[in-house]
Amino acid sequence: MKQPAVLRRLSAVPRSDLHDRRLAALVGSALGVAFALCFATGLLSHLIQEPPGWFDWVSRPAGLYRITQGLHVVTGFVSIPLLLAKLWIVVPKLIEWPPARSVAQAFERLSLLPLVGGGLFLVVSGTFNVARTYPWQFFFPAAHYWVAWLTIGALVVHLGAKWAVIRSSLGSPDGGRADVLEPRRRQFLAGVGATAATVFVAVAGSTVGPLSRLSVLAQRRPGVGPQGLPVNKSAVGARVVDAATSTDYRLVVEGKVAHRLELTLSELVKLPQRTAELPLACVEGWSTSAVWTGVPLRDLLDMAGAAADAEVRVESLQPRGSYRVADVSATHANDRDTLLALRLNGEELHLDHGYPVRLIGPNRPGVLQTKWVARLVVT
């Protein structure tokens, strides 16, 4: 096989001494840790949103999801400078000719396609999702999820193939040459580290209050929005304004119940109320805490005569859209702080926060905190 002209020309470019094994292993290790954390927290988020039979997500501690998902988004963003630095360090290896000297090496190099391609796809699609921009046809959560498996699979193959090299490069700093080169490499590492730290600060403020003023890249800020809370989907955007403000509004409880309920807003207000401070934690990484007051879901289930282990499908007035329904497991339904909230931070719910009734519960992703609730179907 002849070496393509473009690769020949690229390999002739004089190389800086930064294209180095030890640097590759160091930056690669940081990237590996970031990817592993990002994968684990992403997998958890997927399990919570589409739970298989064996998985029952706890309702406590109330802010756990806020932390795991914050970590997911932050480690994803921090991966970007690490991934770019790592690719830059190994460019000479990527364009090496011939591409493989043995079957094993061919396999190892082929695994770089899903590893590099998958890694880039994940950080780019994740960034667009956080920006709530979808310049593509595919369904983001499914694509992001399956490519994550592919990428992690390729990462395991890569680690297996490179284990010996990684260990030796991290162990002995390159014999004698290291002494001469070390300051430049250290500078390079410091640069990569500073970039990653800057990205961290610029993003983490969407969840970590004290950092929020520094978070130029944060897509939402805690405390900014009606009633001090950000809004993802407005009432106008969800096409619920008329139904939500109509005097015909009823909250219906039906399905596997002894008696079907139909409650007006003033009947709901007269029921015993409970107040809880709970975070709203969006899958996109922003989160913010608020004080919610409303009727515990379990009280309504008891009034309707539902079973003690009842699960509930919560439906919104919103006519269309993937987030108009959410399932509540028995564990969450039985948590006293899982509320059909009528008030937020001491005021009647703002229309954009789900007036007249919104579901809010401890330790649930934002997408499962349904706004403009109209129907509870007990299953």
Ligand X SMILES: Nc1nc2c(c(=O)[nH]1)N[C@H]1C(S)=C(S)[C@@H](COP(=O)(O)O)O[C@H]1N2
Residues in contact with ligand X by CB under 6 A are 229-233, 238, 280, 282, 316, 318, 321, 323-324, 353, 366-367, 369-372
**Residue 88 site contact among Mo ion, ligand X, none (CB < 5 to 8 Å, cut-off depends on kind):** none
Q: Using CB under 5 A as the criterion, which residues of the chain lie in contact with Mo ion when the complex forms?
A: 282, 366-367
Q: Are 365 and 44 in contact (CB under 8 A)?
A: no
Residue 206 to residue 77: CA distance in whole angstroms: 13
* Nearest approach, Cβ of residue 366 and Mo ion (Å): 4
CA-CA distance, 332 to 273, in Å (whole number)? 18
- Minimum CB separation of residue 331 from ligand X in Å reads 20
Choose the contact partner of 332 out of Mo ion, ligand X, none; CB within 5 to 8 A by kind.
Answer: none
Closer residue to ligand X, CB minimum distance, 59 or 318: 318
Binding partner of 344, given ligand X, Mo ion, none, CB within 5-8 angstroms per partner class = none
Tokens found for residue 221: 């800020």
Q: Which residue number has the CB closest to ligand X?
A: 366
Q: How far is the CB of 118 from Mo ion (least distance, A)?
A: 24
Task: Answer for the pair 328, 363: CB distance below 8 angstroms, yes or no.
Answer: no
From ligand X, Mo ion, none, interface partner of 39 (C-beta below 5 to 8 A by class): none
- Min dist CB 125 to ligand X, Å, is 17
Nearest-approach distance from CB 361 to ligand X, in angstroms: 12
Half-sphere CA count of 75, side-chain side, radius 13 A: 20
Q: Decide which of Mo ion, ligand X, none touches 212; Cβ closer than 5 to 8 Å per partner kind.
A: none
Which listed option, ligand X, Mo ion, none, makes contact with residue 32 (CB within 5 to 8 Å by class)? none
Which ranges constitute the DSSP H helices of the chain? 5-12, 21-49, 64-94, 103-110, 112, 118-130, 140-171, 177-204, 235-238, 241-245, 265-270, 297-304, 330-333
Contacts of 288 (CB under 8 A, 6+ apart): 220, 222, 223, 228, 229, 230, 279, 280
Closest distance to Mo ion from the beta carbon of 370 (Å): 11
Q: CB-wise, 45 or 232, nearer to ligand X?
A: 232
